[in-house]
Amino acid sequence: MSRALIIGAGGVAGVVIHKCCQNSEVFTDICIASRTKAKCDKFKEELQSKTKTNITTAQVDADNVQELVALMKEYKPDICINVALPYQDLHIMDACLECKVDYLDTANYEPEDTAKFEYSWQWAYRERFEKAGITAILGSGFDPGVTGVFCAYAQKHYFDEINYIDILDCNGGDHGYPFATNFNPEINIREVSAKGSYIQDGKWVETEPMEIKRVYNFDQVGEKDMYLLHHEELESLALNIRGIKRIRFFMTFGQSYLTHLKCLENVGMTSIEPIMYEGKEIVPLQFLKAVLPDPASLGPRTKGKTNIGCIFQGKKDGKDKTYYVYNVCDHQECYKEVGSQAISYTTGVPAMIGAMMVLTGKWKRPGVYNVEEFDPDPFMEALNKWGLPWTENFDPVLVP
């Protein structure tokens, strides 16, 4: 019997809520708390009659630590699943510390006024979480998240050392709009308009945005252009996986998306520098978010599949070895099951599984951890059970 406090009521939260409700044996009680309570109430209305999980809702401003503390003291959760935005991570961690509640998120902290994300801010909580006897799991979505678990699994079962990792994130879905983002537009555009980077021989190598392009033929999706991006899990994987020489992250983008993005950038619409408009300060990127389609509305329109996974090269018993493990997820199947597209689904399912790992004691250890620091086996088993089955290939085409 356990109680989870879910913060946020957007696209990813919707999937976490559906999945916790499917898993009532572990999640006997959930509280959905977000800035807009009406969105939380809507989930409760839709799901309460279909699940044994007892659902309550609350309004909370997750930037206000005292409000969070008051809610946690009243609800007494065992774990807090943070699926609001990365800006709230530290506030929610502070509240968890004060109330001795385990913590889990899907994206690392990012200050609102600087498009920069790295783990240093959250890793700085390690000692305090250890002393408080509580667990924090960072980045339990798909990437970061499942990609880290794939790495730990490869290391545990197939390699003595892993020298090269390429993480390939392919979205072969089509929502029919000329331009829309599959998750929070502000976070998504900040991520893809930043400089790219990868790790080579222990050092970060920086590239211009979208400078490195490759073409890859993805199982069940086909051939796609993909571009090298900076991504948060590179930082932790370079530390936690043995023998790393190079680690890169690629994401696919269609030409229409890139052309629109370039144009928006050129006219200043992706800037996070506030400007004055008719006597009011606005942030262009936040205004752009307001005019773009809500990612949650893409569910019924998106057709096609995602294919996300990792290609490894390394050594086992002195011999060269390659290994590719990936998940393929169908947008329409996700929509039928939980009412959202595959990007939210592939993030929300691992968030639920990560929380289940902590609540069932499998990943319960005081401190602050990235997913690859735990035993990957029970998580990998749960992926197959809860909707994200994976496929292995021991002779994959490598990325040049």
To the nearest whole angstrom, how small is the minimum distance from the Cβ of residue 188 to ligand NDP?
8
Q: Residue 139 or 314: which CB sits closer to ligand NDP?
A: 139
To the nearest whole angstrom, how small is the minimum distance from the Cβ of residue 315 to ligand NDP?
29
Q: Residue 9 or 159: which CB sits closer to ligand NDP?
A: 9
Taking the CB of residue 25, how many other CB atoms lie within 10 A of it? 12
To the nearest whole angstrom, how small is the minimum distance from the Cβ of residue 365 to ligand NDP?
21
Q: Residue 83 or 97: which CB sits closer to ligand NDP?
A: 83
The position carrying tokens 């991504």 is 231
Note whether 353 and 24 are within 8 A (CB).
no
Tell me which residue of 132, 88, 84 sits closest to 110, measured CA to CA. Answer: 88
Q: Residue 163 or 192: which CB sits closer to ligand NDP?
A: 192
Note whether 281 and 274 are within 8 A (CB).
yes
Amino acid at 15: V
Q: Residue 89 or 313: which CB sits closer to ligand NDP?
A: 89
Q: Which residue is nearest to ligand NDP (CB)?
A: 10
Tell me which residue of 382, 302, 297 sits closest to 342, measured CA to CA. Answer: 302
Taking the CB of residue 155, how many other CB atoms lie within 10 A of it? 21
To the nearest whole angstrom, how small is the minimum distance from the Cβ of residue 400 to ligand NDP?
26
To the nearest whole angstrom, how small is the minimum distance from the Cβ of residue 50 to ligand NDP?
21
Token duo for residue 395:
């002779």
**Which residues bind to ligand NDP, rule: CB under 6 A?**
8-13, 34-36, 39, 60-63, 83-86, 88, 106-107, 139, 141-145, 183-184, 187, 295-296, 343, 347
- Hey, is 228 helix, strand or coil? strand
- Hey, is 141 helix, strand or coil? strand
Helix (H) or strand (E) holding 293: none
Q: Residue 98 or 160: which CB sits closer to ligand NDP?
A: 98
The position carrying tokens 């809507």 is 42
To the nearest whole angstrom, how small is the minimum distance from the Cβ of residue 317 to ligand NDP?
34
